[in-house]
Amino acid sequence: MNNPITIAVDAMGGDNSPNKVIQGISLHLSKSSNVSYIIFGKQDLILPLLNKYNISNNKYELIHTDNYVEAEDSALTAAKRGKNTSLWLSIESLKNDKADAIVSAGNTGALFLISKLNLKMIEKIDKPALSALWPSKKNMNVVLDLGANIECNSKNLIDFSIMGSALLKALFVNEKPKVALLNIGSEELKGNAVIKETYQVLNENKNKLFDFMGFIEGNNIMDGDVNVIVSDGFTGNIALKTAEGTSNFITSELKKAFTSSFIGKLSSLLNYNNLKKFKDKLDPRLYNGAILLGLDKPVIKSHGSTDSIGFANSLKVCEQIIRGKLINQIKDNIN
């Protein structure tokens, strides 16, 4: 039987909260065992939802606060709102070991800053990195950094390789991490000085946790030949947004093509199962849950615009990395 875990939840962050958050908890509970939640937010809004979605009162503790971080707040403004916002209190519960991890769909900058103010970095890691799951032809990729650090040195990228590999192992126990550096070419001489230096170090100093596969270009990210893709936050964020935009474009154009005429509608009916598989493969809700790696406690960012299904998936990711002992795996392998 699974050991009991507790997840701290900022119920007030993101679009359509707290409804999507509480419904997401209900969905997660239906597929998980030995999980409980500490929920932070407005009691008068949250309590009716807990009743609506039939969440047993032995599965949660509700901490009331009237204050929460607004979507338009800067990170500094969010921190200045004080220590009684739902986001601050949820992170503080993690700091005080009342929870095993924290999940929020709220303001990304605020989550980063308040997490760094409350939590310690893992020893020997200089910078945290934002990591997320991407689909590939074979399974799933871990990609980092996705925006936490605009500039990185070679040590940061090496640390990201270890943290990303530890995340993959925590999520997919039987997978062997295969690390590649995102670059403008696959040849050893391509790229800037930092990425060349990182290549040299990773190529010459083998790590027991992962196999180093060299460089990878953006058009090969989803081929599945590697499963941990490392870059600085500037490059990674552009790659992420490009992939998201392309996915949205393809799904919207397909929908338009299959609903604009009788032939299109007939084709969609005949190919319903294949189209559903294709749509599910590109559904961002199924990969929701970015992880801020490098801190000594797990911090998970759910996409602000996701729905209850997406939020439930971020809770699933949260549960997996706790049970997979992500933080210990990073500590055991960091140089």
Is 80 exceeded by the pLDDT of residue 162? yes
The residue among 48 and 279 whose pLDDT is bigger is 48
CA distance 238 to 255: 26
Q: What does the mean pLDDT of the chain come to?
A: 87
The residue among 249 and 284 whose pLDDT is bigger is 249
pLDDT for residue 78:
83
Domains and CATH numbers, the chain: 1-125+294-335 (3.40.718.10), 130-286 (3.40.718.10)
Is 70 exceeded by the pLDDT of residue 182? yes
Q: Which residues contact 120 (CB under 8 A, 6 or more apart)?
A: 295, 296
In DSSP notation, 52-91 reads HTT--TTSEEEEE-SB---TT--HHHHHHT-TTBHHHHHH
**DSSP-based three-state secondary structure for 261:** coil
Q: Which residues contact 179 (CB under 8 A, 6 or more apart)?
A: 161, 164, 165, 202, 210, 211, 212, 213, 226, 228, 229, 230
Is 90 exceeded by the pLDDT of residue 244? no
- Per-residue pLDDT of 60-91, as tens digits, reads 999 999 999 888 888 888 888 888 999 999 99
Label residue 199 by pLDDT band (50, 70, 90).
very high
Poorest-confidence range of 123-127, 243-247, 303-307? Answer: 243-247
In DSSP notation, 271-299 reads THHHHHHHHHHH-GGGG--EEEETBSS-E
Mean pLDDT for the stretch of residues 139-143: 88
Poorest-confidence range of 31-40, 155-164, 245-254? Answer: 245-254
**DSSP-based three-state secondary structure for 24:** helix
Kindly report the number of other CB atoms within 10 A of residue 246's CB atom: 11
- Per-residue pLDDT of 163-177, as tens digits, reads 999 999 998 888 899
Is 70 exceeded by the pLDDT of residue 266? no
Closest by CA to 247, choosing from 217, 273, 291, 281, is 281
Poorest-confidence range of 98-107, 194-203, 225-234, 287-296? Answer: 287-296
pLDDT for residue 271:
59
Is 70 exceeded by the pLDDT of residue 261? no
Residue type, 244: E
Does this model's pTM top 0.75?
A: yes
CA distance 239 to 233: 10
Mean pLDDT for the stretch of residues 263-288: 61
Q: Record the tokens describing residue 257, joined without a space.
A: 């093509």
Q: What angle do CA 169, 173, 178 make, to 5 degrees?
A: 45
Closest by CA to 145, choosing from 159, 160, 135, is 160
pLDDT for residue 159:
95
Mean pLDDT for the stretch of residues 94-107: 94
pLDDT for residue 173:
86
CA distance 235 to 123: 26
Poorest-confidence range of 9-13, 176-180, 221-225, 317-321? Answer: 221-225
In b/e form, how buried is each residue of 274-290, taking b as 16+ CB within 10 angstroms? ebeeeeeebbbbbbbbb
pLDDT for residue 122:
94
The residue among 255 and 267 whose pLDDT is bigger is 255
**DSSP-based three-state secondary structure for 131:** strand
CA distance 133 to 287: 6
Is 80 exceeded by the pLDDT of residue 27? yes
Q: Could you identify the residue written with the tokens 């991407």?
A: 134
Label residue 3 by pLDDT band (50, 70, 90).
confident
Residues forming beta bridges with residue 121, ordered by sequence position: 295
